[in-house]
Copies of this chain bind each other. A is one copy, B any other.
Amino acid sequence: MTLDSETKAVELPEHHGDELRLWLRLLTCTTLIEGEVRSRLRERFDVTLPRFDLMAQLDKVPEGMTLSDVSKRMMVSNGNVTGLVERLVESGHLDRRTSDVDRRVQVIRLTKAGRAEFRKMAAEHELWIADIFRDLTPKDVRELMRLLAKTKTSAQKSARARGDRG
């Protein structure tokens, strides 16, 4: 018993290396895919990933969203969205108007041109993603979906437990 506790001493203060390796692998996968998508978007459509992401959010809601909504959905800061929207309005992709009921609120929508351009990009984008995940069987995909859902819940719980607000 004494011997046993000695041999295991190195990993005694709890063994958390597996979770760390998992996190690094998750990060590597995402970085890899994100970089690939970013390259293709630039090369094929000369658009940045953040702009594409913002347009993707808006495409789902024809009646438009507030900046706060976008900010929450994209999980980025308010100030970030302000700047992104500014440039997309400038380039004619977005339409922006102040809410009638609350003059603090800015409602943004895709313009007709913006929507058309986004749909064109989104169609190709979907094929890229399919190609990137080509080696995964439908069962792999289902299983990953399940495990990532569990991961998300776990992470959210951990964040909430800490205090959540800085």
Contact = CB atoms under 8 A, between A and B. Distances in A.
Interface residues of A, number: 58
A158 interface: yes
Counting every copy of the chain, the complex holds 2
Interface stretch (A62-70, A93-101, A137-145): A137-145
Q: Is the interface of A mostly helix, strand, loop or mixed?
A: helix
Contacts of A166: 39, 43
A29 to B, nearest CB: 5
Given A133-B154, A158-B134, A27 B34 contact: yes
17 contacts: A14-B127, A19-B130, A22-B145, A23-B132, A25-B152, A26-B29, A26-B33, A26-B144, A29-B151, A36-B162, A128-B158, A132-B154, A132-B158, A134-B154, A144-B144, A144-B151, A147-B147
Q: Give the 5 A-B residue pairs with the shortest CB-CB distance, closest first.
A: A135-B154, A16-B130, A30-B30, A19-B133, A132-B158
A32 interface: yes
A25 B128 CA distance: 16
A6 interface: no
Contact of A28 (B33, B150, B152): B152
Contact of A22 (B22, B75, B131, B133): B133
Interface in A31-55: 31-36, 39-40, 43
Interface in A76-129: 126-129
